[in-house]
Amino acid sequence: MINKDQIADQYKLIQDEISAALESLDGKAKFQEEIWEREGGGGGRTRIIQHGDILEKGGVNFSAVYGKLPEAIKKAFAVEEDDFFATGVSIVIHPNNPWVPIIHMNIRYFELNEELRWFGGGIDLTPHYVIEEDAQYFHQELKKVCDQFKDSFYQEFKDWADQYFFIKHRNETRGIGGIFYDKLTPSKAGISNEAIFDFSCALGRAFPKIYAELVNRNRAKEYTEEEKQWQLLRRGRYVEFNLVYDSGTKFGLETNGRIESILMSLPEQANWFYNFIPKSDSLEEKTLSLLKKGVQWV
Protein backbone atom coordinates (compact mmCIF):
# COMPACT_ATOMS: atom_id res chain seq x y z
CA MET A 1 0.00 0.00 0.00
CA ILE A 2 1.29 3.42 -0.94
CA ASN A 3 2.13 5.63 2.04
CA LYS A 4 2.33 9.37 2.56
CA ASP A 5 6.13 9.52 2.43
CA GLN A 6 6.23 7.74 -0.93
CA ILE A 7 3.59 10.11 -2.27
CA ALA A 8 5.51 13.16 -1.07
CA ASP A 9 8.78 11.87 -2.55
CA GLN A 10 7.19 11.30 -5.95
CA TYR A 11 5.53 14.73 -5.93
CA LYS A 12 8.88 16.30 -5.08
CA LEU A 13 10.42 14.53 -8.09
CA ILE A 14 7.62 15.81 -10.31
CA GLN A 15 8.38 19.34 -9.09
CA ASP A 16 12.00 18.84 -10.21
CA GLU A 17 10.96 17.53 -13.63
CA ILE A 18 8.54 20.39 -14.30
CA SER A 19 10.97 23.05 -13.09
CA ALA A 20 13.66 21.81 -15.48
CA ALA A 21 11.19 21.63 -18.38
CA LEU A 22 9.95 25.18 -17.84
CA GLU A 23 13.49 26.59 -17.66
CA SER A 24 14.27 24.87 -20.94
CA LEU A 25 11.06 26.17 -22.50
CA ASP A 26 11.77 29.77 -21.49
CA GLY A 27 15.44 29.65 -22.43
CA LYS A 28 16.43 32.63 -20.28
CA ALA A 29 15.01 32.75 -16.76
CA LYS A 30 15.92 30.37 -13.95
CA PHE A 31 13.94 29.39 -10.89
CA GLN A 32 14.80 30.86 -7.53
CA GLU A 33 14.22 28.37 -4.73
CA GLU A 34 13.34 29.01 -1.12
CA ILE A 35 13.19 26.20 1.41
CA TRP A 36 10.70 26.96 4.17
CA GLU A 37 9.36 25.37 7.32
CA ARG A 38 5.82 25.65 8.59
CA GLU A 39 5.20 26.52 12.19
CA GLY A 40 3.24 23.53 13.42
CA GLY A 41 4.86 20.95 11.16
CA GLY A 42 6.38 20.33 7.77
CA GLY A 43 7.45 22.72 5.06
CA GLY A 44 8.21 22.92 1.39
CA ARG A 45 10.14 24.24 -1.56
CA THR A 46 8.89 27.40 -3.25
CA ARG A 47 10.29 27.96 -6.74
CA ILE A 48 9.60 31.19 -8.58
CA ILE A 49 10.60 32.14 -12.12
CA GLN A 50 10.35 35.76 -13.27
CA HIS A 51 11.09 38.11 -16.16
CA GLY A 52 11.88 35.43 -18.71
CA ASP A 53 11.55 35.47 -22.48
CA ILE A 54 8.18 33.71 -22.20
CA LEU A 55 7.38 33.48 -18.51
CA GLU A 56 6.69 36.80 -16.83
CA LYS A 57 6.01 35.14 -13.50
CA GLY A 58 5.47 31.56 -12.48
CA GLY A 59 5.66 29.28 -9.51
CA VAL A 60 6.23 25.54 -9.12
CA ASN A 61 5.71 24.79 -5.44
CA PHE A 62 6.00 21.62 -3.40
CA SER A 63 4.83 21.24 0.17
CA ALA A 64 4.42 18.48 2.74
CA VAL A 65 2.83 19.78 5.93
CA TYR A 66 1.25 18.28 9.01
CA GLY A 67 -0.19 19.29 12.34
CA LYS A 68 -3.53 20.12 13.90
CA LEU A 69 -6.53 21.08 11.79
CA PRO A 70 -8.13 24.43 12.65
CA GLU A 71 -11.75 24.23 13.74
CA ALA A 72 -12.96 25.97 10.58
CA ILE A 73 -11.33 23.32 8.38
CA LYS A 74 -12.67 20.49 10.56
CA LYS A 75 -16.17 21.84 10.10
CA ALA A 76 -15.69 22.30 6.35
CA PHE A 77 -14.46 18.71 6.02
CA ALA A 78 -17.06 17.41 8.50
CA VAL A 79 -14.46 15.48 10.49
CA GLU A 80 -13.55 15.10 14.15
CA GLU A 81 -9.90 14.17 13.65
CA ASP A 82 -7.26 16.75 14.54
CA ASP A 83 -4.01 15.49 13.02
CA PHE A 84 -3.56 15.98 9.29
CA PHE A 85 -0.94 15.49 6.60
CA ALA A 86 -1.06 17.20 3.23
CA THR A 87 1.36 17.19 0.32
CA GLY A 88 1.21 18.40 -3.23
CA VAL A 89 2.61 20.32 -6.15
CA SER A 90 1.01 23.56 -7.28
CA ILE A 91 1.83 25.48 -10.46
CA VAL A 92 0.67 28.76 -11.94
CA ILE A 93 2.31 30.37 -14.98
CA HIS A 94 1.65 33.92 -16.20
CA PRO A 95 3.28 34.55 -19.62
CA ASN A 96 4.43 37.83 -21.14
CA ASN A 97 2.64 37.42 -24.46
CA PRO A 98 -1.18 37.82 -24.48
CA TRP A 99 -1.42 35.01 -27.05
CA VAL A 100 0.17 32.52 -24.66
CA PRO A 101 -2.31 31.26 -22.03
CA ILE A 102 -2.12 31.24 -18.25
CA ILE A 103 -1.99 27.68 -16.96
CA HIS A 104 -2.59 26.13 -13.54
CA MET A 105 -1.91 22.64 -12.26
CA ASN A 106 -2.27 21.09 -8.86
CA ILE A 107 -1.87 17.55 -7.59
CA ARG A 108 -2.36 16.93 -3.89
CA TYR A 109 -2.91 14.32 -1.22
CA PHE A 110 -4.61 14.77 2.16
CA GLU A 111 -4.68 12.33 5.07
CA LEU A 112 -6.24 12.22 8.50
CA ASN A 113 -5.85 8.49 9.07
CA GLU A 114 -5.92 5.22 7.07
CA GLU A 115 -9.67 5.53 6.55
CA LEU A 116 -9.80 9.28 5.85
CA ARG A 117 -7.49 10.12 2.97
CA TRP A 118 -8.01 11.43 -0.51
CA PHE A 119 -6.47 12.92 -3.63
CA GLY A 120 -7.29 16.11 -5.48
CA GLY A 121 -5.97 18.10 -8.38
CA GLY A 122 -6.32 18.95 -12.03
CA ILE A 123 -5.08 21.17 -14.83
CA ASP A 124 -6.95 24.14 -16.25
CA LEU A 125 -6.16 26.71 -18.93
CA THR A 126 -6.94 30.43 -18.93
CA PRO A 127 -6.29 31.93 -22.36
CA HIS A 128 -6.41 35.70 -22.66
CA TYR A 129 -7.71 35.02 -26.17
CA VAL A 130 -9.47 31.70 -26.75
CA ILE A 131 -7.94 29.96 -29.78
CA GLU A 132 -10.27 27.10 -30.55
CA GLU A 133 -7.62 24.78 -32.03
CA ASP A 134 -5.50 25.21 -28.90
CA ALA A 135 -8.48 24.57 -26.65
CA GLN A 136 -9.24 21.36 -28.54
CA TYR A 137 -5.63 20.19 -28.28
CA PHE A 138 -5.53 20.95 -24.55
CA HIS A 139 -8.69 18.99 -23.79
CA GLN A 140 -7.70 16.10 -26.05
CA GLU A 141 -4.43 15.69 -24.17
CA LEU A 142 -6.20 15.71 -20.81
CA LYS A 143 -8.66 13.12 -22.11
CA LYS A 144 -5.75 10.88 -23.12
CA VAL A 145 -4.44 10.93 -19.54
CA CYS A 146 -7.86 10.28 -18.06
CA ASP A 147 -8.65 7.44 -20.47
CA GLN A 148 -5.60 5.50 -19.26
CA PHE A 149 -7.31 5.06 -15.91
CA LYS A 150 -11.08 5.17 -16.43
CA ASP A 151 -13.25 6.01 -19.44
CA SER A 152 -15.60 8.21 -17.43
CA PHE A 153 -12.89 10.34 -15.81
CA TYR A 154 -12.51 12.98 -18.52
CA GLN A 155 -16.14 14.02 -18.82
CA GLU A 156 -16.74 13.75 -15.08
CA PHE A 157 -13.69 15.84 -14.20
CA LYS A 158 -14.25 18.25 -17.09
CA ASP A 159 -17.76 18.99 -15.82
CA TRP A 160 -16.35 19.37 -12.31
CA ALA A 161 -13.82 21.92 -13.59
CA ASP A 162 -16.56 23.89 -15.36
CA GLN A 163 -18.42 24.15 -12.07
CA TYR A 164 -15.39 24.86 -9.91
CA PHE A 165 -13.63 27.48 -12.07
CA PHE A 166 -16.72 29.64 -12.37
CA ILE A 167 -16.60 33.29 -11.31
CA LYS A 168 -20.12 33.66 -9.98
CA HIS A 169 -20.08 37.42 -9.60
CA ARG A 170 -19.00 37.78 -13.26
CA ASN A 171 -21.16 34.94 -14.60
CA GLU A 172 -18.22 33.59 -16.58
CA THR A 173 -15.69 30.79 -16.28
CA ARG A 174 -12.10 31.65 -15.40
CA GLY A 175 -10.93 30.16 -18.68
CA ILE A 176 -11.69 27.14 -20.84
CA GLY A 177 -11.56 24.75 -17.90
CA GLY A 178 -9.75 21.46 -18.03
CA ILE A 179 -10.17 18.75 -15.43
CA PHE A 180 -10.65 19.04 -11.67
CA TYR A 181 -11.23 16.47 -8.95
CA ASP A 182 -11.27 16.67 -5.17
CA LYS A 183 -11.55 14.32 -2.19
CA LEU A 184 -11.17 11.40 -4.59
CA THR A 185 -11.23 8.01 -2.85
CA PRO A 186 -11.51 4.44 -4.17
CA SER A 187 -15.21 4.36 -3.40
CA LYS A 188 -15.81 7.52 -5.44
CA ALA A 189 -13.34 6.81 -8.24
CA GLY A 190 -13.91 3.11 -8.69
CA ILE A 191 -10.15 2.46 -8.72
CA SER A 192 -7.63 1.84 -5.94
CA ASN A 193 -5.72 4.48 -4.01
CA GLU A 194 -2.58 3.34 -5.80
CA ALA A 195 -4.26 3.88 -9.17
CA ILE A 196 -5.53 7.32 -8.13
CA PHE A 197 -1.97 8.19 -7.10
CA ASP A 198 -0.65 6.94 -10.45
CA PHE A 199 -3.28 9.06 -12.20
CA SER A 200 -2.16 12.16 -10.31
CA CYS A 201 1.47 11.49 -11.28
CA ALA A 202 0.53 10.94 -14.93
CA LEU A 203 -1.30 14.25 -14.89
CA GLY A 204 1.71 16.01 -13.40
CA ARG A 205 4.04 14.51 -15.98
CA ALA A 206 1.71 15.46 -18.84
CA PHE A 207 1.95 19.13 -17.87
CA PRO A 208 5.33 20.02 -19.49
CA LYS A 209 4.45 18.53 -22.89
CA ILE A 210 1.00 20.13 -23.00
CA TYR A 211 2.17 23.59 -22.00
CA ALA A 212 5.27 23.53 -24.22
CA GLU A 213 3.06 22.81 -27.24
CA LEU A 214 0.73 25.70 -26.44
CA VAL A 215 3.63 28.08 -25.78
CA ASN A 216 5.49 27.17 -28.95
CA ARG A 217 2.37 27.63 -31.08
CA ASN A 218 2.01 31.23 -29.89
CA ARG A 219 5.28 32.55 -28.46
CA ALA A 220 6.37 34.39 -31.61
CA LYS A 221 3.07 36.18 -32.24
CA GLU A 222 3.20 39.97 -32.16
CA TYR A 223 0.68 41.90 -30.09
CA THR A 224 -0.61 45.44 -29.76
CA GLU A 225 -0.90 47.66 -26.70
CA GLU A 226 -4.68 47.12 -26.81
CA GLU A 227 -4.16 43.36 -26.66
CA LYS A 228 -1.75 43.79 -23.76
CA GLN A 229 -4.36 45.80 -21.87
CA TRP A 230 -6.90 43.03 -22.46
CA GLN A 231 -4.41 40.55 -21.01
CA LEU A 232 -4.14 42.65 -17.86
CA LEU A 233 -7.92 42.74 -17.53
CA ARG A 234 -8.14 38.96 -17.86
CA ARG A 235 -5.45 38.62 -15.21
CA GLY A 236 -7.69 40.68 -12.96
CA ARG A 237 -10.42 38.07 -13.35
CA TYR A 238 -7.86 35.40 -12.44
CA VAL A 239 -7.00 37.29 -9.25
CA GLU A 240 -10.68 37.65 -8.35
CA PHE A 241 -11.25 33.92 -8.58
CA ASN A 242 -8.18 32.98 -6.57
CA LEU A 243 -8.88 35.40 -3.74
CA VAL A 244 -12.64 34.87 -3.53
CA TYR A 245 -13.28 31.22 -4.43
CA ASP A 246 -10.14 29.08 -4.61
CA SER A 247 -10.23 26.35 -1.97
CA GLY A 248 -6.45 25.86 -1.98
CA THR A 249 -5.90 29.51 -1.13
CA LYS A 250 -8.46 29.29 1.66
CA PHE A 251 -6.93 26.07 3.04
CA GLY A 252 -3.44 27.57 3.04
CA LEU A 253 -4.57 30.68 4.87
CA GLU A 254 -6.68 28.75 7.39
CA THR A 255 -3.82 26.35 8.23
CA ASN A 256 -1.24 29.09 8.79
CA GLY A 257 0.46 28.41 5.48
CA ARG A 258 3.29 30.44 4.03
CA ILE A 259 1.76 33.59 2.51
CA GLU A 260 4.35 34.09 -0.23
CA SER A 261 3.87 30.52 -1.43
CA ILE A 262 0.07 30.68 -1.23
CA LEU A 263 -0.15 33.92 -3.20
CA MET A 264 2.46 33.01 -5.81
CA SER A 265 -0.53 32.34 -8.11
CA LEU A 266 -1.12 36.06 -8.49
CA PRO A 267 0.38 37.85 -11.52
CA GLU A 268 2.97 40.58 -11.21
CA GLN A 269 0.54 43.05 -12.76
CA ALA A 270 -3.22 43.09 -13.38
CA ASN A 271 -5.79 45.76 -14.20
CA TRP A 272 -9.42 46.47 -13.45
CA PHE A 273 -11.21 48.68 -15.97
CA TYR A 274 -14.56 50.15 -15.00
CA ASN A 275 -17.47 48.56 -16.89
CA PHE A 276 -15.37 47.27 -19.79
CA ILE A 277 -17.50 46.34 -22.81
CA PRO A 278 -15.71 44.73 -25.76
CA LYS A 279 -16.21 46.01 -29.27
CA SER A 280 -18.82 44.21 -31.35
CA ASP A 281 -17.41 41.28 -33.39
CA SER A 282 -13.99 41.69 -31.74
CA LEU A 283 -11.70 38.88 -30.58
CA GLU A 284 -12.35 40.04 -27.03
CA GLU A 285 -16.10 39.61 -27.52
CA LYS A 286 -15.53 36.16 -29.02
CA THR A 287 -13.41 35.12 -26.05
CA LEU A 288 -16.11 36.19 -23.59
CA SER A 289 -18.69 34.20 -25.56
CA LEU A 290 -16.64 31.04 -24.95
CA LEU A 291 -16.13 31.54 -21.22
CA LYS A 292 -19.19 29.44 -20.40
CA LYS A 293 -19.91 26.19 -18.68
CA GLY A 294 -20.55 23.15 -20.82
CA VAL A 295 -18.49 23.97 -23.92
CA GLN A 296 -17.45 20.59 -25.35
CA TRP A 297 -13.95 20.80 -26.84
CA VAL A 298 -13.55 17.12 -27.71
Give the 3-state secondary structure percentages of the chain, helix then strand then coil, rounded to 5. 45, 25, 30
Residue 108, sorted as left (phi over 0), alpha (psi -120 to 50) or beta, turns out to be beta
Q: How many Cβ atoms sit within 10 Å of the Cβ of residue 126? A: 25
Cα distance between residue 56 and residue 248, in whole Å? 23
51 is known as an active-site residue: no
Between CA 272 and CA 251, with CA 91 as vertex, the angle to 5 degrees is 80
Cβ density class 6-44: b for 16+ within 10 Å, e for less: ebbebbbebbeebbebbbebbeebebeeeeeebeeebbb
Q: Give SS3 for 57.
A: strand
* Residue positions counted in the chain: 298
Instruction: For residue 151, give the amino acid letter.
Output: D
Do the beta carbons of residue 206 and residue 183 sit within 8 Å? no
Strands of the chain, DSSP E: 32-37, 42-50, 55-68, 83-95, 102-111, 117-126, 166-167, 172-173, 178-184
Q: Give SS3 for 288.
A: helix
Q: Which of 104, 128, 139, 169 is catalytic?
A: 104
Helix (H) / strand (E) element for 247: namely helix 247-254
End-to-end alpha carbon distance in the chain? 35
Q: Please list the active-site residues.
A: 104
